[in-house]
Structure formats: C-alpha cells, structure tokens
Amino acid sequence: MFNLVAYSTDPLEDLRSSSLPNKEQLIQARIQIANLDVIPPVRWLMWLAGVGKCLVPFVAQCDLGQTFQGAPVTDILPTAMVATVQMVTAALILAILFGIATGILSALRENSGFDGSFTVLSLFLYSLPSFLAAAMLKTFVAIGFNDFLQDPVIPIIVAIIIGVVVAIIVQSVIGGNRRKRLISFGISFAITAGMLLWMSLTGWFLTPGIGPIGIIVFSAGIAIGLTALLAGLHQRRALLTAGIVAVAGIASYFLLQPLFDISTPGTIVILAVVALLVGALTGFLVGGDDRRQNIRLGMLVALLIGMLILVDRFMQSFPGYMDDMSGRPIATVGSSTPGYDPDNMWRTGLDVFFHLLLPTLSLLTISFAGYTRYARAGMIEVLSQDYVRTARAKGMPERVVVVRHAFRNVLIPITTLIATDLGALLGGAIITEYIFAIPGMGALFQRSLGPGDIYPVMGYFLVIAVMAILFNFLADLAYAALDPRVRVR
C-alpha cells in the first residue's frame, strides 16, 4: 500500500502549480518532512522502523511520520478515531439489536406477511446507496423535522395513518388467531394514535420528557417483559428480583434529580456501576437455586431502567438546547457545534447526539439489513435441528426453546459478522463522513490520499489492520462462551 500510494500520486503537484513567492522553500520543506528525496521502498523501511518503536513499552517514541503540514500522525489519529467511534458505536449497537430481533421474528413467522415485508425492506435498505440515504435523511429528517418544530402539530389523519402502520406491524409480530390479531391491532392502534394526538396537543415535542408516570409504567413494563423473556412469569423469584430492582430504579429517579443538575460523565459512570451491582446483588439474594439467571435478569433490568432515567434527563434539557440552536436542533454537518460550550453535560450530550443522528441512521440502514438476513437464515436452520425438535418433544415452552437453545447457536455466525463489521467501521465510513463533514478516519483517509500525503494514509491502514486482527481474535474467544464444544486452551 505504501508503494502504491507513493508511485500513483505526486505529492508536490499543488506546490508546483502555485504562484506563491516562496514556492521553492515550501517544496524543499515538504521534501524534508515527507522524505521525498528517498525512493519509496527505502522510505517504507524508514517508516516501518518508526512503527517498530510503537511496540517498545514505556519508551513513548512511537513515530508514524508527519503530515504535509508537519503534524505528527500519532497526534491526529486519536482525534479521528474518537470522531469515528462516536459515529459508528450507536449505529452498530442498534443494527445488532434491531437486526437480530427482526431476523429472529421473521424466522419464527416464516413466509408470513411480517416475514415478507421485512425481507423486502431489508433488501431495499441493503441496496440503497449510502450517498442517497444521506441525502434523503438530510431532506426529510433534518430539514423536515426542524421545520415541523416551528409548529409541532400532528393532523388527525397523519396520527391515524401512523397508528394503522404500527398496528399492522404489532399484530403481525404477535401473531395468533384472527381474534388475537384484531385485539392486538386495536390496542396498538389506539395507543399509538392517542399518544401522537396527546403529544401534539400538549406541545410535547417542544418540552419532551418521560415524566414520573412514564418512568413508573415503563419500569414495570421492563421488569415484566424481561422476566417473561428470560425466565417466564411463572418463576416467582425471577419476578420478585425484577420487581425489587424496578422499585429501586423508580425511587432513584426521584432521589437523583438534584444530583443530575451537577453531574459529570464520571458521576454517570459511578451510578451505572452502582445500578449493576444493585441488580446483581438483588438477583443473588433473591435468586434461590437459579441465582445465575436472576443475577443476569437483575442487572439487565437495572441497566435498562437506568438508561430510561438518563433519557428523561436529556429530554428535560432539550428546551434550553433548542433555544441555543435557534429552534433547529438537528444538524447536517460536523460532529459538534463549533464554539458551543454550555457548561452543562446534558446540553453537550444533546449537541453530539443531534450532530451524529443522521450519520448514525445512514450507517444503520445498511448494517441493519445484513444482521436481519443472517439472523433469519441462522434461526431457520437451527430450528430444523434434531436437538430443537427433541426439546419441543419434551414439552419445553417455546420461549425456552427459542431463547435458551436456538438463539445461542444463532449467535455463533453472527459473532463473526460483528467482528468483521467492527474492524471495518472503525476504519471509517468514507462516503458518510464526507457527506456529513465528520472529521473521522474515513475523512482522514480521503483527505490524505488525494494529494499523496502518505503517512496519514498508512496510519489509517495500520489502524484497520490492528482492529481487524484484534476483533477477529475476540470473536474466537467469544465462540467458547457461546458454544460448549469450543474451549480456549
């Protein structure tokens, strides 16, 4: 790669065509900075010697070369990596969660309307060019929603249409006979349309928040839903564990509001650790014979309720951020607002969120489809295995068959896909970063490759190589946790 870049570009082209009076001095300075008076193979050996210093611990002499402007590559790489990690982390997590969940539901409803609809949707998203997705997001999400916030009123017909669409999806997920489908359709339609009209009438979009009642309702729903999924509602100790953690989470919502006003990111990390410890301790004390399951349940309930409380606190800061942004919060370029320092971690977090919202959605549309198809194909294959038929023949509940037997084996090939995606995404999404002006790894590569600034380009490839090896190694270790036939020796 070093020689391909060196022989295919002219690093002095822009200076030779310049009309600056000190053109010769600038040319000589660039030759000295980039060692252009040395043939590329020897230059590569010199660069490799600098890379080798990075492997010597406690020396701090890592040398990856300098840019044409004289900035050390070791200084600009961390900044670019932070911007890329901020952009791809949420996209990857959401793609994994929603993609796997949708794929599994499609497999369980194979050849149904739900399966066919999401198959078409996933293939459409997978084939959608990233630049087109970015342009559509800028037009319909950024500009459209910012205009909507000037007068946030939802017409009744729009609320009805959205309610019908959501109700169709919900009833197809729940399944069952016609009566059960109609009931789920009616309930989901009434809740969705009613909520949208209520939000429109109360001005919720300008002063959003979950509120105490919402925290209580959603916390109870999280406790009951996770218990039903992981243990079954007939397990009293599991239900008690989730209930105790939910009550503790609701109480902490009211107790922590004054602390949130003076919180820092470190405070949130400490609170997260405490929440996980409380969930684990509750599961251990209440768990009985199945402590491991209840510890996991308690920690998951604590984590989700904690995230719910944080979302509510960010929402409380939205009106102030809205005023700071002159009523147009969703940004279309950059990773943050230049010079914006509100001295408030909540508004700072909202600023990063709204700047990275569109790039995240753009990456999500592509990654989501891949995980959906892998999860669907894997689940269909696993459900036809002998051990799954044996589990069903023994009379095990379908939840146990899917969650404990089939799902774990579906994750084995998906783990490989996640490792590959992590290594690739940390290298940056060149088109997405270019369109949204995100100063990440992809932008660094694109900006350096054109003029032949070889050392930042090689720093980019070095990061990709290290990440590819690292995450594939971690995937190999993850196989041992997922497959009892695999052991780490």
Give the domain-ending residue among 63, 86, 110. 63
Residues 88 and 111 in one domain: yes
Q: Is 80 within a domain?
A: yes
How many domains, the chain? 4
Backbone φ and ψ of 72, nearest 5°: -60, 135
∠ CA 351-213-180 to the nearest 5 degrees? 105
Range 285-322 burial, b when 16+ CB lie within 10 A, else e:
ebbeeebebbbbbbbbbbbbbbebbbebbbbbbbeebb
State the residue range of the domain holding 124: 76-146+358-489
Residues 287 and 386 in one domain: no
Q: What is the pLDDT of residue 59?
A: 63
Q: Is 71 within a domain?
A: no
Q: What is the pLDDT of residue 191?
A: 93
Residues 260 and 190 in one domain: no
Q: What is the pLDDT of residue 190?
A: 94
Which CATH number belongs to the domain containing residue 396 in this structure? Answer: 1.10.3720.10
Q: What is the pLDDT of residue 427?
A: 66
Distance CA 459, CA 461 (A): 5
Name residues of the chain where pLDDT drops below 70. Answer: 57-60, 424, 426-428, 484, 488-489
Residues 266 and 290 in one domain: yes
Residues 246 and 313 in one domain: yes
Closest CA to 92 of 444, 472, 424, 480: 424
Q: Answer yes or no: are the C-beta atoms of 433 and 84 closer than 8 Å.
A: yes
Residues 190 and 220 in one domain: no
Q: Is 405 within a domain?
A: yes
Count of residues in the chain: 489
Residues 125 and 243 in one domain: no
Q: Answer yes or no: are the C-beta atoms of 320 and 312 closer than 8 Å.
A: no
| Percent of the chain as helix, strand, coil, to the nearest 5 | 75, 0, 25
Residues 231 and 277 in one domain: yes
Residues 307 and 410 in one domain: no
Residues 299 and 254 in one domain: yes
Residues 387 and 415 in one domain: yes
Distance CA 489, CA 476 (A): 12
CA dihedral of 176, 179, 183, 184, whole degrees rounded to 10: 20
Residues 138 and 225 in one domain: no
Q: Answer yes or no: are the C-beta atoms of 471 and 422 closer than 8 Å.
A: yes
With tokens 């090939």, the residue in question is 413
